[in-house]
Structure 1
Amino acid sequence: MFGRRGSGLDALIHRPRPSAWQLFLQNPSIYIVRKLYSWRRLTKESWNPEHQEVSVVCISDTHNSQCPIPPGDILIHAGDLTQSGSLEELRATISWLQEQPHQFKVVIAGNHDLLLDPSKDDRVGEAVLARKQIEWGDIRYLQDTSMVIALKGRRLKVYGSPKSPRHGNWAFQYPRESDVWRHTIPDDTDILITHGPPRAHLDLTTLGCPHLLRELWRVHPALHVFGHVHEGYGQEWAQFDSFQAAYERAVLEGGGFWNLVVVLRAFVFSLFASPALATCQLINPSLVGGLRDDARRKPIKVYI
């Protein structure tokens, strides 16, 4: 029942990271606006002595693999704990996560975690019975829900969702044209965890969701952790200003000369203005990657 489901999803989502030359040939204007955006000048908020820093260790898309995890206050797994979504796979990954010493552990599902999606249940009820056997222990599992972490005198609201745009017959997926995100994330969210990425950020510029991107602009969390697109691994900052808006518009519209001009103008203006205030860390900590998912990457540790 929970065997590997073949589709074009693996080839698309797990494809190797293209070279710079390949990216330029695919779409010169998108390549240039991406470069300009990566060169923007940013500054971070000044240190607030009333807030102690909280360390967050981020992982995603482990697909049954296990790796050394650095210490931290919070451990986040952004989905795809398994490869085929079986109970045995889930138990093994949950046991591994339970062994970690982090004070708080927060997990969401991904499209490969089929057992956790009730819409994929079989008619005879085997999946329901299997799901009842899952013991999360000290792990907090979020599925379109929130929790509050009280730590170091701070209260951090965390929202997690396993959803990602549909490609194939996997778990927690929605039609790409559907805006399933509008006003679903609480306004006061500090840490946002989704399996799929927002469009134009750590998603190979084309595989993220534009509707999630709009919701990100509305909520402005301090940290957004996601995975799904393995070769989008990395981290960047969002500043929610006109430069970012121009860059994202260029990506959403597939590039073009005029969009390139607008982004270039925003870049030139930024050279003579104060650095933009970076307010949101975007993290894609997909640990599995490479041509055949044979590469293993390190967790990403950040501070908020």
Structure 2
Amino acid sequence: MTLTDRVMKLGKWLGLQTVSEYLAVASALLFMLVLLTGIILRVLFGTNVALVWFGLVFGLCYFQVQKHGHRAFGYGPVPSNLKTEIKITNQNLDKIRIVCISDTHNEHGGLEVPDGDILIHAGDFTKNGTLEEVVKFNTWLGKLPHQHKIIIAGNHDLVMDQDFYKKSWRKWHKKEGKQELGDKDPRSLLTDCIYLENEAVDVEGLKFYGSPCSPHIPNYKEMAFNVRASAKDRFETPTATEVWDQIPENTDILVTHTPPLGILDRLLLGKRVGCKSLRQRIDQIKPRLHVFGHIHEDYGIHQDKETSTIFANASMVTMLYTSKHKCLVIDLPRK
């Protein structure tokens, strides 16, 4: 069991649900540990040794903020390797501009969304997965000028996954109460976009495929659109491989909530948590663009040198669930 798995298991035992809660508890415990160690060092070796200890801790924290602060928390310098746009400057080349966002978690109102031909949102447009949040998001979408808006859901958009929600709503909405629309499907609330749920659509001559699915996180509660990472998992859902095998071979632009393994999927502590079977499928079909989110702290654009596939982790909020990241802008030559 890895360190991350142990932390998740402890968090589950403590009743922690969100990343913010994990960070708050971890920060408090770390602060207490640093302070207690400093006190012990002062008692045993004197004030100077304790000051050296606090200096080392401060230096380490400063280094981490400099290296990871911008992506993870929205603070610190912008990394030199962070790419947020790929633009075609040749005016004679016919291009299509795609604006990518994801993981807005109700913070969409604070975004400065640039104009473009197509807007893509790769899921987690809500934070608590309620109907009210879906309605507010749809209202905001309707005010944006983009001709086409392609949306998928994410694991936080609980009410959008009706099969999951009907059996698990008490685990998440005990306070808010069961979210119901009578006989209507919550997807009907998204009137100002093209909503994809393991579906394909042709837009502007490009073939899109969108999937809200993401592998279940070990030692964590089941969330919307979770699939089994392998056949050994206990949930009665399809495996990730079964889901990704549905992606058509001729897909130009793939939109998923989860990242592929090894690409913009690194947690703050360094562990890569992308989906292995999704990566294998992408290696087979080689889409022109893959847009995703889910991992807030590895935001940005990466282009594969061999296949030229552009990967975009468009998470807008940080690990603190504050909107600090810029919308990603990608120009593609028209077919």
Give the TM-score taking structure 1 as reference length. 0.69
What SS does the corresponding residue of 1:122 show, helix, strand or coil? helix
Give CA-to-partner distance per residue, 1:176-222, whole Å, 9 cap, x none.
22423452110110000000000000000511000000000011100
Instruction: Verify the 8 A CA contact 1:115 1:121 in the aligned structure 2.
Output: yes
In the TM superposition, residue 138 of structure 1 has moved relative to its aligned partner by: 3.4
In the TM superposition, residue 169 of structure 1 has moved relative to its aligned partner by: 1.7
Structure 1 residue ranges without an equivalent (≥5): 23-37, 39-44, 241-277
Q: Residue 29 of structure 1 corresponds to which residue in structure 2?
A: none
Q: Which has the larger radius of gyration?
A: 2
Q: Residue 176 of structure 1 corresponds to which residue in structure 2?
A: 229
Instruction: Verify the 8 A CA contact 1:115 1:127 in the aligned structure 2.
Output: no
Partners of 1:295 and 1:125 in 2: CA distance: 26
Structure 1 residues 13 and 91, CA gap change in structure 2 (3 angstroms): farther
Q: How does 1:59-74 map to 2 (within 5 A)?
A: 59-66=101-108, 67-74=111-118
Which of 199, 203, 206 is the equivalent residue of 1:156? 206
Structure with greater strand percent: 1
In the TM superposition, residue 134 of structure 1 has moved relative to its aligned partner by: 3.6
Q: Residue type of the partner of 1:146?
A: A
Partners of 2:260 and 2:62 in 1: CA distance: 22
Q: Residue 226 of structure 1 corresponds to which residue in structure 2?
A: 292
Which of 198, 203, 207 is the equivalent residue of 2:265? 203
Give the root-mean-square deviation of aligned CA atoms.
3.3
In the TM superposition, residue 128 of structure 1 has moved relative to its aligned partner by: 5.7
In the TM superposition, residue 20 of structure 1 has moved relative to its aligned partner by: 11
Structure 1 residues 295 and 76, CA gap change in structure 2 (3 angstroms): closer
Q: Residue 141 of structure 2 corresponds to which residue in structure 1?
A: 97
What SS does the corresponding residue of 2:134 show, helix, strand or coil? helix
1:296 pairs with 2:305 = no
Q: Residue 180 of structure 2 corresponds to which residue in structure 1?
A: 126
Instruction: Verify the 8 A CA contact 1:165 1:176 in the aligned structure 2.
Output: yes
Partners of 2:206 and 2:246 in 1: CA distance: 18
Structure 1 residues 222 and 135, CA gap change in structure 2 (3 angstroms): same
Q: Residue 3 of structure 2 corresponds to which residue in structure 1?
A: none
Which of 308, 311, 316 is the equivalent residue of 1:279? 308
Structure with greater helix percent: 2
Identity of aligned residues (%): 36
Q: Residue type of the partner of 1:64?
A: N
What SS does the corresponding residue of 2:185 show, helix, strand or coil? helix
Partners of 1:113 and 1:97 in 2: CA distance: 16
Instruction: Verify the 8 A CA contact 2:165 2:224 in the aligned structure 1.
Output: no
Q: How does 1:45-124 map to 2 (within 5 A)?
A: 52-66=94-108, 67-122=111-166
Q: Residue type of the partner of 1:165?
A: P
Give the TM-score taking structure 2 as reference length. 0.63
Give CA-to-partner distance per residue, 1:99-134, whole Å, 9 cap, x none.
110011000000000111022233799366463584
Instruction: Verify the 8 A CA contact 2:288 2:310 in the aligned structure 1.
Output: yes
Q: Residue type of the partner of 2:279?
A: L
In the TM superposition, residue 80 of structure 1 has moved relative to its aligned partner by: 0.2
Instruction: Verify the 8 A CA contact 1:91 1:134 in the aligned structure 2.
Output: no
Partners of 2:304 and 2:113 in 1: CA distance: 26
Partners of 1:20 and 1:164 in 2: CA distance: 33
Q: Residue type of the partner of 1:137?
A: T
Structure 1 residues 122 and 77, CA gap change in structure 2 (3 angstroms): same
Structure 1 residues 302 and 163, CA gap change in structure 2 (3 angstroms): same
Structure 1 residues 132 and 183, CA gap change in structure 2 (3 angstroms): closer
Partners of 1:200 and 1:20 in 2: CA distance: 27
Number of aligned residue pairs: give it.
236
